[in-house]
Amino acid sequence: MLIPVTKEHIITADKLATIRELYEFRRGGYNYNNQNNPIHQRISELHDIKIQSQSNLLTGILFEICLFETMSETLRQRLREQGYHNDTEISNRMRQMNFSYGLTIGRVDDGYDYLIDRANTPYLIDVKMYGTRLFTNQNQVQNYNLLVDARQFNRNIATQYVQGFLIDNNNSLIIYVAGWTDENQLEYMENRNNCYAISVRDLNQIGTLIDIIYQNG
């Protein structure tokens, strides 16, 4: 899945990231004086925006809001194709799917971003963006992995993970949604700074996750 990034997306993500940074724990390896970050600079150039946030939170939140919006619009379109034309009926039907996004500011988050509240096996989905490099096409990421820090994995909170990458293609910013996986498909990789991982090539297509949401109502 490819998601075009608009100026409005950037402005929204930047504002939310700037506020959230006021409450963030300054973890090792996270640069909070990030005005010279090449990704921030490139986003500023492409959209003529002065980025205010100072960390990789910008790209993470950008992915979260763009993906949730796109998945929601996909669900709405499916409902229209099934004969739902009234906005109230569509909204009611979507709420019955129990798919939600819980952006957290002001406290430690719950360890996941999206929830599919299913009767027996809820999906607690952590959305991950590769936030240290811009790519020029989606083929460049096929040898990358979805990585989950061992400390996060061992908290046993998130049950599914989604991986995204930022693509800078012909002066357009695009998010490539590489796919998703269940926690039990991750393998421990001690030589990769104690993390759990799966190859991007082995991820499930994001459309199958949308199918699960649609069938949940």
Q: How many CA atoms lie within 13 A of 1 on its CB side?
A: 24
Contact yes or no for 165/130 (Cβ under 8 A): yes
Residue 109: its pLDDT value, please? 82
Which of the four pLDDT bands, split at 50, 70 and 90, describes residue 28? very low
What is the tens place of the pLDDT at every residue in 128-181? 999 888 999 999 999 999 999 888 888 889 999 999 999 998 889 999 999 999
> Is the CB of residue 149 less than 8 Å from the CB of residue 195?
yes
For 31-44, what is the mean pLDDT? 72
CA angle in degrees (0–180, nearest 5) for 163-17-174: 40
Quick one: which of 125, 206, 196 has its CA closest to 165? Answer: 206
pLDDT at 24 over 50: yes
Span 69-92, average pLDDT: 94
Q: Which residues pair with 99 in a beta bridge?
A: 116
For a pLDDT cut of 70, what percent of the chain falls above it?
94
